[in-house]
Amino acid sequence: MIKSVKNKKFYEFWIALRYTNLKNTNQFISFISLTSIIGITLGVMALIIVLSVMNGFQSELKSKILSVTSHLEITKPGRDINDWQQIEKSIKKNIGIDGVAPYVQDQAMISVGKRNRGVIIRGILPEIETDVSDINTKIKSGSYHLNPGKYEILIGSNLARYLGVSVGDKIAMISSKSNFSAAGIIPRIKRFNVSGIFDSGMYEYDAGLAMINLKDAQKFFKTNKSISGLRVELKDIDDTEKISSYLKKTFSYDPFIYVSDWRSQHANLFAAIQLEKKVMFIILTLIIAVAAFNIVSTLVMGVTEKRSDIAILRTIGVTQKSIMYIFIMQGFIIGILGTLLGIFFGVTISLNIEIIVPFFERIFDTKFLPKDIYQISVVPSEVMITDVYRIGLMGLLLSLVAAIYPSYKASKIEPAEALKYE
């Protein structure tokens, strides 16, 4: 008998598997084991879904931001740029640059009837702007083209809705800078024709940004032929930091030139998302930890029930080390089952969350993310394999740690003492 046990390969695993079989154990212990598996499953599933949604939000925000902003911007804060053609030539020398476009930007008041709203006015060259943004693909109605001298304007969908205007309507633009004359201060006002309405998907831009032709902006804001800055598009967005550093060195001769990238422009937003991801990871990890430590209760009760079995195994030659392995393996099997089920359901739900959320919105007749409140009106999801690996390993590790103490106690059971009252 001893020989047969010792020669059987992986016999600890097979015994552990038998002990894990819910049909072969006490009903109460079976219930606790099932609870442990379900707890780990729910914890792992919730963590994968939450991180996937957070990743989706980050990617969606990134996409929407880059549809109206550029990868890099070259400006002179508080000053206009006069020699921008020379700066443009220097920028284009870098092989990582995909496009460069000048712009004029200032604040103004847009007025229609009794409705007024302060907005950012950006003067662009439509034929070049497509090199640094995707705004031409976001046109909801009307035309993207802004003909110079005709004072045409592109406005966001939310701004158009607030003002109650559509394509072809006229709006009044009042500059933040006034004209000074002998008669006093005269507001600088110009009527513009709404040529198009864009929808970027971000409320911040759709409600507070308007675009006009660069030449019209230079006339209206009286900047002559100077510009506010240059927008730069990179061939590879991952090179943002490298090329930004290169351009800073290139223009180090002018202390007024400032190079900023899309990350620094929205640093607070992305920092907030990263912080939320970390906090949610910690909170949900604690949930998995609680579920994993249910394994301690399961194994303690299992050891108590199997004292006679342990004594018999020790009697036929099974070592303390093997006894410990048996119960560690049992806890590990529970952890594996819970983790694998959690990964399966978590990944499945995450990949189909854009279908699941609208389904519940229709059932309950509600909108989880109203467009006028949140920057993103849908619940995006992006499953990252690294997150899945990390969560899976963490679930297994916690299960393994939870199984150590009961396994150690099982290995210390003396055969004679255990069989004394049998």
Q: Quick check: is 261 in a domain?
A: no
Same domain, 28 and 84: no
Percent of the chain with pLDDT over 90: 25
Pairing of strands 72-75, 97-112: unpaired
From the centroid of its chain, how far is CA 367? 20
- How many angstroms separate the CA atoms of 124 and 68, rounded? 12
**Domain stops at, among 205, 233, 256:** 256
Q: What is the pLDDT of residue 94?
A: 81
- Give per-residue pLDDT as tens, 197-210: 998 877 788 889 99
Which pLDDT does position 105 carry in this prediction? 92
Residue type, 197: I
Instruction: Please list, in sequence order, all residues whose beta carbon lies within 8 angstroms of the beta carbon of residue 114, skipping any fewer than 6 positions away.
Output: none
In tens, the pLDDT along 140-175 reads 999 998 999 999 999 999 999 999 999 999 999 998
The number of C-alpha atoms within 13 Å of 45 and in the hemisphere containing its C-beta is: 18
- The verdict on 390 and 308 lying in the same domain is yes
Mean pLDDT of 323-344: 88
Region of poorest pLDDT, from 133-142, 302-311, 342-351: 302-311
Residue 142 falls in which region: left (phi positive, over 0), alpha (psi -120 to 50) or beta:
left
Residue 161 CB partners (closer than 8 Å, separation 6+) = none
The answer to whether residues 233 and 89 belong to one domain is: yes
Same domain, 311 and 224: no
204 and 283 co-located in one domain: no
Domain boundary residue, one of 256, 290, 315: 256
CA quadruple 73, 77, 80, 84: dihedral, nearest 10: -30
Q: Are residues 36 and 107 in the same domain?
A: no
Query: If we measure between CA atoms, which residue out of 219, 182, 228 comes closest to residue 84?
Result: 228
Residue 72 belongs to some domain of the structure:
no
**87-127, pLDDT tens digit by residue?**
888 888 888 888 899 999 999 999 998 899 999 999 999 99
pTM: 0.69
Q: What is the pLDDT of residues 260-290, one digit of tens each?
A: 888 777 778 778 878 888 888 888 888 888 8
Q: Domain check: are 251 and 282 in the same one?
A: no
Show the domain range for 200: 77-256
Are 406 and 283 part of one and the same domain? yes
Residue 4 has a pLDDT of: 46
Task: Give the β-pairing of 209-213 and 115-124.
Answer: parallel
The contacts of residue 334 (CB under 8 Å, 6+ apart) are 20, 33, 36, 37, 40, 295, 298, 399
pLDDT at 2 exceeding the cut of 50: no
Q: How many domains does the chain have?
A: 2
Tokens of residue 378, six digits:
């849908």
- Domain annotation covers residue 8: yes
Residue 70 lies in a domain: no
Q: Are residues 108 and 247 both part of a single domain? A: yes
> What does the alpha-carbon distance between residue 338 and residue 292 come to, in Å, rounded to a whole number?
9
Q: Based on the domain organization, do 28 and 118 belong to the same domain?
A: no
Is there a single domain that holds both residue 148 and residue 246? yes
Query: Cα–Cα distance between 238 and 403 in angstroms, integer?
Result: 43
310 is a domain residue: yes
Q: What is the chain's mean pLDDT, rounded?
A: 83
Asked if the structure places residue 235 within a domain, the reply is: yes
Does pLDDT of 421 surpass 60? no
Check if the beta carbon of residue 194 is closer than 8 Å to that of residue 171. yes
Given 232, 256, 280, which residue is the final one in a domain?
256
Do residue 198 and residue 330 come from a single domain? no
In a domain, 91, yes or no: yes
- β pairing state of 209-213 and 229-234: unpaired
Residue 358 lies in a domain: yes
Is the confidence at residue 3, as pLDDT, over 50? no
Q: Is the pLDDT of residue 375 over 90?
A: no
